[in-house]
A and B are shown apart, each in its own frame.
Chain A
Amino acid sequence: MENATKLLNVKKLLKKYSMTIALAVVFIMFAILTKGKILLSQNISNLLLQNAYVLVMACGMLLCILTGGNVDLSVGSTLCLVGAIAAQFMSAGLNPILTILICLVISMLIGIWQGFWIGYVHIPPFICTLAGMFLFRGLGRVILSSKTVNIADKTFLGIFTNYISVPGLDDGNIKWSAFAVGVAIAVFLIVYTAVSRAKKSKKGYTMSSSLIAYGKIVAIDALVVAYAWKLANYKGIPVMLLWILLVVLLYAFITSKTAFGRYFYAVGGNEKATKLSGIDTKKVYFVAYCSMSILAGFSGLLVAARIGSVNGDMGMSYEMDAIGSCFIGGASAYGGSGTVPGIVIGALLLGVINQGMSICGLDNNWQYVVKGAVLLVAVIFDVVSNHKTGKA
């Protein structure tokens, strides 16, 4: 009997961390296939930078999907439009800080536009954002006059693409500041876990077993330190990583801790019941789509800075990367469930596959085939293992 319950627990655990395990397996597989090239410091460092836009936009997309499996198709176009505006403003000589602020305000206006139609006029999100996809792509190309506009402003590029360098510490080949930050985070995580567990046991709440809790934290710590070491061996901590962390942590906090974050889950779980509980469901939709556009615009700045130029095709099909990450990361296609850590895993899985295949030299077209298959398999796995058979 005890063995049986143990087996059941192991099964549960495997199910809960299935995507994390998949990520590890895929990563190891590519490490072997690329003969370790994917493990090079430069590649590890670039993995996140290349996928910055996916991580940032997946956070916003999660809110949209939570409301009932709704997606925002316009984000790739919004990204292009905002990037185009930034590029043109700066080539006209506008101050880069002012440019960034204006771009974020424009993103918010786009968000208000979409959120208003979807939340308050009940236009189906799919159609409204499909229209947005054409609208903003077109406007972006008009602003660029169908040309590629370069961004030369050093301040602007620096805000997004610099590496943190502490004089005296990071002068050598190894950027010790990165490693130090990694170790500090690892120590903080352990202390935080211990303190919060002590608090819980004092109040007499039930907790997960200490073996699992500490095992988990040690594994995370090992990864953090290893990652920090890799960064230290390349150019140090990229500023873009900080931007990503800012967004991811903010959204993780909103969705798991705040009352308003709770409402997104409630609307996706049962909209009618949510409304009758006195929750403003229109506002929930509005905020979801508004925040999505702001993040899309912000990603526009990230991508523009990373590439150093903007053209009319920038951000093409990026919406699918964001949506795919959410679903691979375990967000329900029917709404009401999904977490930020989950979608981060989803985005990383997609990112590792992309990078691994590129290093292997696999044809671009085949990469699409693999991505599609991974998405389908992930969702099938999710639906079958959780017995989520449609709305019933």
Chain B
Amino acid sequence: MKKKYLSTGNEACAEGAVRAGCRFYAGYPITPQNELIAYMSRRMEEKKGVFIQAESELAAVNMVFGAAVAGARAMTSSSSPGISLKQEGISYLAGCELPAVIVNVMRAGPGLGSISAAQGDYFQATKGGGHGDYHIIVLAPASVQEMFDLTYDAFALADKYRIPVMMLSDGMLGQMMEPLEFDAEIKPSGVINKPWALTGAKGREAQSIKSLWLGEGALERHNEKLQEKYRSIAKTEVKAEAYKTDNAEVIIVAYGTPGRMARACVDRLAEKGVKAGLVRPITLWPFPHETLRRLAQGTTKFLVVEMSAGQMVEDVRLAVQDDSRVSFYGRAGGGVPLNEEIIRRAAEAVGKKV
């Protein structure tokens, strides 16, 4: 039976993890994700799981590495500066093909920046972040409900592909309260056996987990295997919300907080006689290139809105393949785009004044 709660995004994310069967959490305090770690300190105990407040983000992500080695569903969370510290661990998780969920409740940077919501970590999340040729799956929630739903899905994806999955949220989504609905009896999704996990060599040969490949050509073969996996994920796991995109003369592309703002702008643009649509990527990696490429076949214009100086816009340009039809409106350093400005720029893109 579905039950309704009033929840912050951070707590919805944590509960989504608990319901997905996450039984290991390690983290370190940082604003604006502190509700998440506090919630986990209670819920992991209630579920007989493991909660550790680590000495650093480095230690936290490596504790998660260890838990994943042992076969547990494990998660860590942080906000931008802390996620930078976790990149070493994420690269190792990717290299060792270990499933884990990492939550980034983004704040403004660079450096210590501020605690305001921002989207300046798009490049870091989707283009690698750590060293080496790798990708992680990046999910972008735009509501408290999606903070729960996508985190719940993240664990199944991580296990299915043996890959780290990042929830790329922001301080606004993390801290705001909204109704949250889920089935009180919901069971963990996509639970699979993990014969590769290290639990002791009982009844089988000894196993190892490693990202080090020293033999002639061995690392190249390992990388080819990783790339094959990434191609398969890109083929099957792309997710985006398309709203009023049929016959749209201008399509706004935005994720997370600007994504939900843009949806309201699309309706207001219609009232003003501008046929506008929205594409809201839900997977940022793999990015919905094909969705956009299809929509770009005519003369449709695109307006990318971000809480950054312009990062996702590069992927949109790659998909549209006509820079003259792609414009950008963004605010970096904690600024939030204004609805009026989104509307004005969308209309301007098709030569209209509103």
A and B from one assembly?
no
